[in-house]
Amino acid sequence: MSEPTKLIIEEGIKSSITYPICSNGVCVGIIIFSSKQINTYDDKYLEMIKAITNSLAISIEKNLLVDELILTSITGLAKLVEAKDYDTGAHIERMQEYSKIIAISLSKKEKYENIINSKYIRDIYKFSPLHDIGKVGIADGILLKPGKLTPEEFQVIKTHTLIGEDVLKKSSNNLLRSGRHFFDMAIDIVVGHHEKFDGTGYPYGVSEHNIPLAARIVMVADVLDALTSKRVYKQPIDIDISIKMMDDEKGKMFDPDIIEALFESKNEILIIYEKARENIEWSR
């Protein structure tokens, strides 16, 4: 007499069978067969359903494996780029954590509760490390220059967003043949993480909500870690001072909503920041 059963009966269903779809011992879904005939399903049907669910499980596992292999390969390339570009080897991990924390904080606002769900948070954590993947195409002489870049060199640096877009689009096109858009958020992040809220960023000079939300979140996470980290051209800035500097740029460089979410999640951010400082001191 449960409510779901009442709904099934109202639809005229007279018999039904449900079976789990399992992959590596984990239930990833269920399959349901229903009939308007009484006593349709017997042991013969059960064996058929087992065969179907086993085939589905293998297909799901294969697709997940392909996605993970592609993501792992490209993330590995991103880490190689980072290893050249930064003094510390953990920029990707820190800004990845910052992006996730800020996204969770933002999801609690009514404005974003129907946009940022658990999948969105998983995806921004998964794809944010790819933000600078395009730097693989920038010459070391410019990328690793310790002094100030010339205007011409800065124009070259700016192309890393378009190089990254090209890399991911080519990877994504291979997956599109099977009807999937695996790298959509990653492309948004790569192209948009240097766009400014007031439209003065690059590569396209778009503004406000024309910049994808994921890119606006990752930009805040990326800049926060850049300010608080040592670089060949600067010493680290205290996190409280860094956040204050970023607050001064809300509405100009940054989305005010995301800066507000940064402040609201400051305690979680500090845990990652302090842990990073301890690791740096230990390595010395």
**pLDDT tens-digit map of 37-48:** 888 888 878 888
Asked if 123 and 141 sit in the same domain, the reply is: yes
Asked if 112 and 51 sit in the same domain, the reply is: no
Last residue of a domain, one of 85, 103, 134: 85
Asked if 138 and 218 sit in the same domain, the reply is: yes
Q: How far apart are CA 160 and CA 167, in angstroms?
A: 10
Residue 41 has what pLDDT? 84
Asked if 110 and 250 sit in the same domain, the reply is: yes
CA dihedral 162, 102, 260, 278 (to 10 degrees): -100
Please, which residues have CB within 8 angstroms of residue 229's CB and are 6 or more apart in sequence? Answer: 86, 87, 88, 91, 94, 236
Model confidence band, residue 278 (pLDDT cutoffs 50, 70, 90): low
- Residue whose entry in the numeric block shows the structure tokens 């192309």: 159
Model confidence band, residue 86 (pLDDT cutoffs 50, 70, 90): low
Asked if 43 and 98 sit in the same domain, the reply is: no
Asked if 48 and 117 sit in the same domain, the reply is: no
The number of beta carbons lying within 10 Å of the beta carbon of residue 248 is: 12
Element at 43 (helix H, strand E): helix 43-85
State mean pLDDT over 12-35: 85
Last residue of a domain, one of 54, 85, 116: 85
State mean pLDDT over 144-165: 90
| Residues pairing with 250 in the sheet | 254
Q: Name which of 143, 135, 142, 145 is nearest 166 in CA terms.
A: 135
- Residue whose entry in the numeric block shows the structure tokens 């410019």: 142
Asked if 143 and 160 sit in the same domain, the reply is: yes
Tokens representing 85 are 């570009």
State mean pLDDT over 60-75: 63
The separation between the first and the last C-alpha atoms of the chain, rounded to the nearest angstrom, is 67
| From 114-123, 165-174, 188-197, the region with the lowest mean pLDDT | 165-174
State mean pLDDT over 56-83: 65
Model confidence band, residue 149 (pLDDT cutoffs 50, 70, 90): confident
| Residues pairing with 15 in the sheet | 35
Residue 282 has what pLDDT? 39
User: For residue 167, what are the CA distances in angstroms to 125, 160, 261?
Assistant: 19, 10, 31
User: How many folded domains does the chain comprise?
Assistant: 2
Note if the pTM is more than 0.85.
no
Give the type of residue at 121.
Answer: I
Question: Which residue range(s) make up the domain with 46?
Answer: 1-85
**pLDDT tens-digit map of 252-263:** 999 999 999 999
Residue 253 has what pLDDT? 97
Asked if 210 and 94 sit in the same domain, the reply is: yes
The percent of residues in the chain predicted with pLDDT above 90, rounded, is: 43
Q: How far apart are CA 264 and CA 103, in angstroms?
A: 11
Residue 219 has what pLDDT? 97
Asked if 75 and 91 sit in the same domain, the reply is: no
Residue 234 has what pLDDT? 75
Tokens representing 98 are 């910052």
**pLDDT tens-digit map of 182-228:** 788 999 999 999 999 999 999 999 999 999 999 999 999 999 998 99
Do 116 and 107 contact (CB within 8 A), yes or no? yes
Asked if 78 and 163 sit in the same domain, the reply is: no
Give the type of residue at 148.
Answer: K
